[in-house]
Amino acid sequence: MSHIVIVGGGQAAGAAAETAREQDSDAEITVVAREPHGLYQRPPLSKGYLAGSDGPGAVRLHDADWYADQGIAVRTGLAATEVDAGARRVGLADGTAITYTQLLLATGATARALPVPGSGLEGVHTLRTIDDADALGQTLRAGGKRVVVIGSGWIGMEAAATARQLGNDVTVLGRAAQPLEAALGARMGQVFARLHADHGVTVRGGVAVERVEGSSSVTGVVAGGERVDADVVIAGVGAELDLGLARTAGARIGDGVLVDAAMRTSVPDVWAAGDIAAAYHPMLQRHLRSEHWATALAGGGVAGAGMAGAPGRLADIPFFFSDQFDLGMELSGFAPLMDGARLVVRGDEHAREFIAFWVDGDRVVGGMNINVWDVQDDIQSLIRSGVRVDVAALADPDVALSDLTQG
C-alpha cells in the first residue's frame, strides 16, 4: 500500500494531506509536525489572533477529530531529522524512522533572530508561531506599553497596527526609507506610512538598529545613534527557510527547493511545497518562490494530488492580502516583474481607496486593490492575458477593467 508522508505543520502540509485524501481514499497518510499544535495557518497570528478577537479556531486548519475521521495520522511535537531517499526513509527526532512511497517537504521557515546585541533580552519577541503570538499577545493586550517594532515589512507593519489598536505606544524602525518598500516600492510604501501615522504610530525609515538595551528586560532600542525607550520589542526582520531536510534528501536547491510545476523535486518521489518551494512557473518560464499563504495552499494542493497519482500544475499568479487598521488590501503579481515597473493608479490614493497597477512596457504584471473590492478576478485576468493596455484607460475608473482584458 502507498504511504504518503508529509513533513510540516502549516498551510502547505495541511492542503497536501487534504487533497491527497480526496484523490486516494486508501493511501496511508502521515503528517509529521515539529510544533506541539495541530496543523495551522499563520495569517491571523499578526491580526485577529494577536489582538485576541479571533480564537484558536481561526488559526487551526481542522480539529483533531477531522484528521482522525479522514484516516490521516498527525504526529505533532515530532521533528523529522533526515531523509534517506535511497531507502525511502525519514528519520525522526525520537530515534525511530518511517518509510514512504511519496514524501512531501513542507517545512516552511523560522523567524530570523535580531542580529544585534541585546536580542536575547526579555521582552524581545519574534512572530512566526502560535507560541510566539500567545506570548506577544499577552503583553500587548494589557495596553499602555512602549512597543518598538524593528522591521517595516508585512509582519512588522501588521504587528504594529495590532499593537497600536490594543492601546500601546508604537514606533516602527525600518531600514528602507518607506515601509513595505521592498514589496511595493516607495510610493505605495508611503500610503502605509501615512496610514500608520494617521493612527498614531511613529514610523522612522532609513535607520539601522545598533543594539537593544536593558539589563534582564528590554528598556530601549538604539538606532541611527538615537535611543527609543521600549518595554516590548517586536523583531520583524524576515525568516530563514528550513531547508535542512531537503538538503539531506539531496534535492536541488536554488532560491529554495527547486520543483517543477507539479511540485516534484529533483529526487524521485520527493515533493516540496509552501514557503520553501521555488516552483517552475509555466507563464514566467522560470522558478518562482513566494512566501504567501495562497501559494502554500495552492502548491500544497498540487503536491498532495500529485503524490496520490493525479499530478497537476501550479500556474497561479502569486496572491497576498493584508489588513491594517481600516485598510484592507489584496495584491496579485509577479514580484520579479513588478520590480522596476511603472505604477498606474486608478481611484483616490489619498483617501486610500484605489487600485495600483504595475505596468511593464504596456502589460500589467501586478495589481493591488486597497479598500476597493471584488476586482481581483479582473486584475488576475489582465495579468494572465498579457494584453497590451492603454494606460489612460487603466487609470480611468469609468472604464470597466473587464473591457481592458479584451485588449
Ligand X SMILES: Cc1cc2nc3c(=O)[nH]c(=O)nc-3n(C[C@H](O)[C@H](O)[C@H](O)COP(=O)(O)OP(=O)(O)OC[C@H]3O[C@@H](n4cnc5c(N)ncnc54)[C@H](O)[C@@H]3O)c2cc1C
| Half-sphere exposure (Cβ direction) of 89: Cα atoms closer than 13 Å | 8
* Cβ contact 172:158 at 8 Å: no
Binding string, 219-248, against ligand X, x = CB under 6 A?
-----------------------x--x---
Nearest distance in Å: CB 231, ligand X: 21
Residue 297's nearest CA partner among 43, 35, 5, 13 is 13
Cα diameter, the chain: 65
Query: Which residue, chain included where needed, has cell 508604537?
Result: 170
Q: Which is nearer to ligand X, 169 or 291 (CB)?
A: 291
Give the whole-angstrom CA distance, residue 34 versus residue 77.
5
Per-residue contact track with ligand X, 7 to 36, x per CB under 6 A?
xxxxxxx------------------xxxx-
Would you say 42 or 125 has its CB closer to ligand X?
42
CB of 267 to ligand X, least distance (A): 16
Phi-psi domain of 119 (left: phi exceeds 0; alpha: psi -120 through 50; beta: other):
alpha
152 is a contact residue toward ligand X (CB under 6 A) = no
C-beta of 12 vs 359, nearer to ligand X: 12
Binding to ligand X (CB under 6 A): which residues in 286-315? 291-294, 296
Q: How far is the CB of 41 from ligand X (least distance, A)?
A: 6
Tell me the C-alpha distance between 123 and 116, whole Å. 15
Nearer to ligand X, 45 or 172 (CB): 45
Judged by CB under 6 A, the stretch of 22-30, 39-47, 173-181, 308-316 that binds ligand X is: 39-47
- Residue closer to ligand X, measured from CB, 138 or 217: 138
Among 321, 328, 345, 387, binds ligand X (CB under 6 A): 321
**Cα angle, residue 53 at apex, residues 353 and 170 outer, rounded to 5°:** 65
Binding test (CB under 6 A) with ligand X, winner from 72, 109, 136, 241 = 109
Name which of 390, 368, 388, 370 is nearest 378 in CA terms: 368
Contact 104, 13 (CB under 8 A): yes
Q: Could you give the string, one character per residue 250-289, with x where binding to ligand X holds by CB under 6 A and - elsewhere?
A: ------------------------xx--------------
**Grid cell locating 296:** 502554500
Range 41-80, binding ligand X (CB under 6 A): 42-43, 45-46, 79-80
User: Quick check: 226 and 173 in contact, CB under 8 A?
Assistant: no
By beta-carbon proximity to ligand X, the closer residue of 43 and 205 is: 43
CB of 12 or CB of 172, closer to ligand X: 12
Examine residue 214 and tell whether it contacts ligand X (CB under 6 A). no
What's the CA dihedral at 332, 186, 207, 167 to 10 degrees? -60
- Cβ atoms of 85 and 35 closer than 8 Å: no
Closest distance to ligand X from the beta carbon of 281 (Å) = 17
Gyration radius of the chain's alpha carbons: 22
Q: What is the spatial distance between Cα 363 and Cα 361, in angstroms, rounded to a whole number? A: 6
Site residues, ligand X (CB under 6 A): 7-13, 32-35, 42-43, 45-46, 79-80, 106-109, 127-128, 155, 242, 245, 274-275, 291-294, 296, 320-322
